[in-house]
Amino acid sequence: MTKLNKWTKHHILSLADFTPSEYETVLQTAASLRSVLFSRTKKVPTLQGKIVANLFFEPSTRTRSSFELAAKSLSADILNFAPGSSSLSKGETILDTAKTYLSMGANVMVIRHQQAGVPEAIAAEMDKLNSGVSILNAGDGLHQHPSQGLLDLFTMCSALDEQNPRLELLKGKKIAIVGDILHSRVARSNIYSLTAAGAEVHLAGPPTLLPQLFGEILDRNQGGKLFLHWQIEPALENADLVMTLRLQKERMSDYLLPSLREYHQNYGITRKRLQLCKEDVKILHPGPVNRGVEISSDVMDDPEMSLISEQVTSGVAIRMALLYLIGTTKL
Amino acid sequence: MTKLNKWTKHHILSLADFTPSEYETVLQTAASLRSVLFSRTKKVPTLQGKIVANLFFEPSTRTRSSFELAAKSLSADILNFAPGSSSLSKGETILDTAKTYLSMGANVMVIRHQQAGVPEAIAAEMDKLNSGVSILNAGDGLHQHPSQGLLDLFTMCSALDEQNPRLELLKGKKIAIVGDILHSRVARSNIYSLTAAGAEVHLAGPPTLLPQLFGEILDRNQGGKLFLHWQIEPALENADLVMTLRLQKERMSDYLLPSLREYHQNYGITRKRLQLCKEDVKILHPGPVNRGVEISSDVMDDPEMSLISEQVTSGVAIRMALLYLIGTTKL
Amino acid sequence: MTKLNKWTKHHILSLADFTPSEYETVLQTAASLRSVLFSRTKKVPTLQGKIVANLFFEPSTRTRSSFELAAKSLSADILNFAPGSSSLSKGETILDTAKTYLSMGANVMVIRHQQAGVPEAIAAEMDKLNSGVSILNAGDGLHQHPSQGLLDLFTMCSALDEQNPRLELLKGKKIAIVGDILHSRVARSNIYSLTAAGAEVHLAGPPTLLPQLFGEILDRNQGGKLFLHWQIEPALENADLVMTLRLQKERMSDYLLPSLREYHQNYGITRKRLQLCKEDVKILHPGPVNRGVEISSDVMDDPEMSLISEQVTSGVAIRMALLYLIGTTKL
């Protein structure tokens, strides 16, 4: 496989600085690596002899399994860092933990942490040490989750043209993002990629989860291309794609939500509500889903509408693409 | 390796519907795969490119290691689901968790769950989706643990004829199963396989752990071929094989047992008690063992009597056989 | 690769009985295997078909990752025992857990346990069973941590002659070991290797962590070649190498230490204090480090002085060497 475009990014920390050409390269690379997943051996030797260290300070089975499978499919070796039994409780700093894995020979570190900025800090340290190690942000606090943003983009583009998923397919499409925007690193990453693709992005959520000022700041950062709604209907009207976000149940004990039932009544994605959208509307959700809260079960299970399974498969393909691109580039 | 008989079972959920010919196929396949474990490379490429997902909602190091090793020996890739750090605590349903692993490309899912029926429900869902995924029940609640039943069968038959373990070897043998029958999925699975082999199966345990009505229902389901005892002596008398079950210490706080000491006095397997059995009697236990409770230490460590180590090795061979049979069959 | 010397040790339990020739073999083997870590594929097929079981009854991400990587680099298969979800809480004895992994086919068991003597007890049991299994002590209570002692030795010798690390390089060198000697299995293992190399070993620590009688017993066991200090200065004076030990914060609640700040003031390694040492002094720490307690951050991060990263890399090389030596020897 030859790289389709010259790739120069050494770390993947945020989608804020992604160029259209970088988005295209990721989409095309993922499309070509997706076929590996459906091949007989499910493996290519691309990253043989490379070590991918999964440093998941915030636990996540789903995302870690996805990265693990992506790394295995590229024939990399994997080191898993388990936060429970870790050196952290022994007083070691996060940077020192990362340096330990560097000294063990890690080439790529996939970092998830509950605090925004940790992957960036580790990347800065790795660069300062001239280590050659690439950092991949697998979710940092409320900040960014770039591989999720890219897999959602890839899923949407693939739904429109499976053979040739590309940015321009989303140009002018109306895309609704519904739910807890305030606490969602997924939404933040998607806003970057979808506006870069030229889509019309409509955010909808209750004022507690999409405060006016916060919405305005988001919009300002995107050159005033976002649309904000406190009701779901105007966001859904004529939408081509609807992405609903996971609702953390903790939000209720934080007094940001009265009840899950009321949330579903006002913002839940139901078949009835989807009649406002384009006829062939497609639904996305980053998972795990609270059935009957963010989305009704019958919509979620309708293969004509739901892209949720495709998102999981796309996740492995996108992570293969990212590991491939940063794992084989040299500064 | 060619399949010895046409294998048509797509899932392994229970031994209730196993036919004699299916038992024979499993025994012969395990016998031939056992040799792989003693070969130089310990590996065959049979399941290369297949993904085995271990979804252990109820944790178990021993059984998971056994399945992991079996999958590795067949060159499959493995995805482990860790319940502690899982999406379940985030409100996801078990079926959605399974579907996530399906979308990642899993070909076989090994399921352990504290509730009876979960593997069956996942199998039904996988079939409904035409996924082609096979489900292997690794223990569900108090219901079934088919790979344990099969490894016990394989261990017993191998003890009688290592080169050619087959069902008829157990015909007419007297086999005692001693202990907490009521709470044992191991016992339930063994009852199916041993009666299918034509053995005389004698259950023994205190009335709290082998209630009359429960015993009668068990017996009725087996066509009246079980023998029930509240004393251990008539079960051991002239027995060819004795399987003792693990005693969960929680049973005492449930007021089902006065003390471990009293249990051992009444139902513990000791050298003295074993004099009631045939001279060359063999002992089994599914592990982990409470030494001095279910069985005395000197009996457990006597290689002439104890088949406990053989059971562990048989476990890997049986799981290789099951993964091979369901992993290479297509509906 | 041919073995440089005839290797006869079947288990690695302690450095107490290591001969000079055994140290040399380990150093030379590690030097030659280190190059594998920097090769393109990072792998040799030496232990293909062998199973390394990591039985970490006391959890440790760092040491387990190091052993895992070492085993993978030699192409061994790995079984991990997770204490959290283990059979131990179910009443199984440690020896029975080990025997389960034996029956699964483990060839080498790497054991870490909070109690001194557990690896030795397992080794005795394995020998009694004529199992052929080798035991590698990865840290047992306050007793020994031989792979750490050997990696420290290898790091020091490599710092003096990278191409040809050998015991005589340390002859006559002054080496200070500073900190919580009383509770350190690392110190105990290092004392054996460094005195065997003919170094002058100076122990320094507060009297609560280096009690007079304990120091005298240590010294007596080493033929009176240790030097004991309750002040750090005489230990550092003219030292060639300084190893500082991890301070467990629990020591304060045990009333053995007034505060971390006071410890740092009296025994912390700072740039100023290091002026007492030889000009090209090198610093070691087994990690994880409490920055600003055992050692000041600027010293730790100074690549001219600190060998801490080298220790991590050496750790993988030494563990490869040990697994290679015991994994390919036969009784």
HSE on the CB side for A97, CA within 13 Å? 31
Model-level pTM?
0.94
- C249 pLDDT tier (thresholds 50, 70, 90): confident
* Peptide bond connecting B59 to the previous residue in cis, omega within 30 degrees of 0: no
What span, in angstroms and rounded, lies between the C-alpha atoms of A100 and B326? 42
Res A331: pLDDT: 41
Give the closest-approach CA distance of C36 to chain B in angstroms.
Answer: 21
* Minimum Cα–Cα distance from B80: chain A residue: A65
Percent of chain C at pLDDT > 90 equals: 82
The burial of A109, by beta-carbon neighbours within 10 Å (0-12 exposed, 13-18 middle, 19 or more buried), is given as: buried
Instruction: Evaluate whether the domain defined by C146-310 bears CATH number 2.60.220.30.
Output: no
Output the pLDDT for position A21.
96
Q: Do you find a cis peptide bond into B288, omega within 30 degrees of 0?
A: yes
The pLDDT tens digits of the residues spanning A240-262 come to 999 999 998 777 677 788 888 99
**How confident is residue C306, by pLDDT bands cut at 50, 70 and 90?**
very high
Alpha carbons within 13 angstroms on the beta-carbon side of residue B296 total: 14
Please state, in angstroms and rounded to a whole number, the distance separating the CA atoms of residues C83 and A238: 54
CA distance A86 to C288: 10
* Residue C41 structure tokens: 């594929």
Of A89-103, A122-136, C94-108, least confident by mean pLDDT is A89-103
**Chain C partners within 8 Å of A85 (Cβ):** 59-61, 84
What one-character DSSP code corresponds to residue B42?
Answer: -
pLDDT tens digits along C204-216? 999 999 999 888 8
pLDDT score at C246: 93
Question: Residue C29 pLDDT > 80, yes or no?
Answer: yes
Interface test with A, best of C61, C68, C86, C289 (most A CBs within 10 A): C61
Query: For the structural domain made of A147-308, what CATH number should be given?
Result: 3.40.50.1370
Residue B79, SS3 per DSSP:
strand
- Identify the CA nearest to B152 among candidates B126, B121, B110, B188: B188
Q: Are A68 and A54 in contact (CB under 8 A)?
A: yes
| pLDDT higher than threshold 60 for residue C5 | no
**What does the block give as tokens for C280?**
């090209």
Digit-coded pLDDT (tens) for A178-237: 999 999 999 999 999 999 999 999 999 999 999 998 888 888 888 888 999 999 999 999
Measured between alpha carbons, how far is A20 from A17 in angstroms, rounded to an integer?
A: 10
Test B51 with A37 for CB contact under 8 angstroms. Answer: no
- For strands B134-140 and B108-113, give the pairing: parallel
Cis peptide leading into residue C288 (ω within 30°): yes
Task: State residue A151's pLDDT score.
Answer: 98
Please tell me the number of Cα atoms within 13 Å of A117 on its side-chain side. 0
Over residues C46-71, the pLDDT tens digits come to: 999 999 999 999 888 889 999 999 99
Residue ranges per structural domain of chain C: 20-145+312-328, 146-310
- Residue recorded with tokens 């295995």: A72
Q: Which chain B positions have a beta carbon within 8 Å of A310's beta carbon? A: 103
- Show Cβ contacts of residue C30 under 8 Å, excluding neighbours closer than 6 positions: C150, C154, C165, C314, C317, C318, C320, C321
> Cβ(A163)–Cβ(A36) under 8 Å?
no
Question: Other CB atoms closer than 10 Å to residue C83's CB: what's the count?
Answer: 19
Q: Measured between beta carbons, which residues in chain C are less than 8 angstroms from residue B41?
A: 48-49
Tokens of B90: 């985030």
Q: Once rounded to an integer, what is the mean pLDDT over residues C131-139?
A: 97
Which residues of C fall within a CB distance of 8 Å from A77?
A: 42, 69, 72
CA atoms within 13 A on the CB side of B320: 30
Predicted confidence (pLDDT) at residue A87 exceeds the cutoff of 60: no
Q: List residues bridging with A203 in a β-sheet.
A: A177, A228
Q: From the centroid of its chain, how far is CA C230?
A: 24
- Show which residues on chain C lie within 8 Å of chain B, measured between beta carbons: 48-49, 51, 77, 79-82, 84-87, 90-93, 96-97, 99-105
Work out whether the CA dihedral B188, B193, B198, B200 comes out positive or negative: negative
Q: Please state the rounded mean pLDDT for residues A63-88.
A: 85
The neighbour count for residue C9, using CB atoms within 10 Å, is: 17
Give the closest of B39, B61, B249 to C82, CB-based: B61
A301-321 as b/e: b if 16+ CB within 10 A:
beeebbbbbbbbbbbbbbbbb
CA dist C153 and C23 (Å) reads 9
- pLDDT average per 10 residues of sequence, chain B (331 residues): 72 96 97 94 94 92 94 95 62 91 97 96 97 97 96 98 97 97 95 96 95 89 90 98 90 78 95 98 96 96 97 98 88 41
The answer to whether C189 and C145 have CB atoms below 8 angstroms apart is: yes
CA distances from A273 to A199, A203, A265 (A): 22, 16, 10
For residue B209, give Cα distances in angstroms to B215, B254, B269, B291, C90.
10, 11, 17, 20, 19
pLDDT for B224: 82
Three state DSSP letters for chain C: CCCCCCCCCCCECCCCCCCHHHHHHHHHHHHHHHHHHCCCCCCCCCCCCCEEEEEECCCCHHHHHHHHHHHHHCCCEEEEECCCCCCHHHCCCHHHHHHHHHHCCCCEEEEEECCCCHHHHHHHHHHHCCCCCEEEEEEECCCECHHHHHHHHHHHHHHHCCCCCCHHHHCCCEEEEECCCCCCHHHHHHHHHHHHCCCEEEEECCCCCCCHHHHHHHHHHCCCCEEEECCCHHHHCCCCEEEECCCCCHHHHCCCCCCHHHHHHHHCECHHHHCCCCCCCEEECCCCCCECCCECHHHHCCCCCECHHHHHHHHHHHHHHHHHHHHHCCC
Residue A102 burial by Cβ neighbours in a 10 Å radius (0-12, 13-18, 19+): buried
Within 8 A of B288 by CB-CB distance, chain C residues are 87, 90-92, 96-97, 100
- Point out which residues pair with A177 in neighbouring strands: A203, A243
Lowest mean pLDDT among A37-41, B108-112, C108-112, C197-201: A37-41
Nearest CA in chain A to C307: A103
Q: Average of pLDDT values for A135-163?
A: 97
| % chain A with pLDDT above 90 | 82
Of B40, B61, B316, the CB nearest to C85: B61
Q: Could you confirm whether domain C20-145+312-328 is CATH 3.80.10.10?
A: no
C-beta of residue A265 within 8 angstroms of C-beta of residue A271: no
Q: Is the pLDDT of residue A329 over 70?
A: no
DSSP assignment letter at B12 = B
Residue C210's nearest CA partner among C153, C172, C161, C256 is C256
Of C330 and A226, the one with more pLDDT: A226
Helix orientation angle between A94-103 and C308-328, rounded to the nearest 10 degrees: 50
CA distance A286 to A153: 12
Helix C308-328, helix C146-160: angle, nearest 10: 120
Mean per-residue pLDDT, A299-318: 97
B51 contacts A41? CB cut-off 8 A: no
- All residues of chain C having their beta carbon less than 8 Å from the beta carbon of residue A102 are 309
User: What ipTM does this complex have?
Assistant: 0.92
Q: Choose, out of A60, A62, A260, A301, the residue to mutate when testing the contact with B (most B CBs < 10 Å).
A: A62
CB contacts < 8 A (A, C): 69
Rounded Cα distance between B134 and B136, Å, is: 7
Summarised one tens digit per residue, pLDDT across range A3-33 is 555 899 999 999 999 999 999 999 999 999 9
In DSSP notation, A136-195 reads EEEEETTTB-HHHHHHHHHHHHHHH-SSS--GGGGTT-EEEEES--TT-HHHHHHHHHHH
Q: Which CATH class is domain B148-311?
A: alpha beta
Q: Do C100 and B289 touch (CB under 8 A)?
A: no
Beta bridge partner(s), residue B243: B177, B284
Residue B169 burial (C-beta neighbours within 10 Å; 0-12, 13-18, 19+): buried
Give the range among A61-70, B219-228, C97-106 with minimum mean pLDDT.
B219-228
Kindly tell me if the per-residue pLDDT of C85 is higher than 60.
no
Q: Which among A47, A68, A74, A85 is the top mutation candidate for probing chain C, defined by the most C β-carbons within 10 Å of its own β-carbon?
A: A85
Burial of C306 (0-12, 13-18, 19+ CB in 10 A): buried
Which pLDDT belongs to residue C3? 54
Mean of pLDDT values over C191-202? 96
Type and span of the H or E element at A52: strand A51-56
